[in-house]
Amino acid sequence: MDQPQTITLKINHPLGLHLRKSRDVVQVANQYQALITIQNLTRSTSPVDAKSIIQLVQLQARQGHELHLQATGPDALEALQALASQFDDLTSAAV
């Protein structure tokens, strides 16, 4: 089994992880075979599927919240790199 790849990001955008950006994240996540989850560390949520817009909205990620992204699979690293670029205008790297 492939080792999980992870990254932690902090949301800086005043609107947080809003619906339009969630849609963009889902579109990018669906381009990869990797199993990708996102967890709101600030709210201590359970990890959700990054390929589901409904689940992403349920994170209720607001400005100042930290998100933990994890990907497992053959293209996990590439998936996280692509997702990190989607978050560039919302975040700064926390780790």
Question: What is the C-alpha to C-alpha distance for residues 58 and 80, in angstroms, rounded to an integer?
Answer: 20
For 55-78, write each residue's pLDDT tens digit: 999 999 999 999 999 999 999 999
For 70, the 3-state DSSP assignment is strand
* Six token digits for residue 78: 């590439």
Torsion angle in degrees (nearest 10) through CA of 91, 29, 33, 41: 50
pTM above 0.85?
yes
Q: Is the pLDDT of residue 47 over 90?
A: yes
* Six token digits for residue 9: 């990001």
Q: Let me know if domain 5-93 sits in CATH 3.40.190.10.
A: no
Give the H or E element holding residue 6: strand 5-11
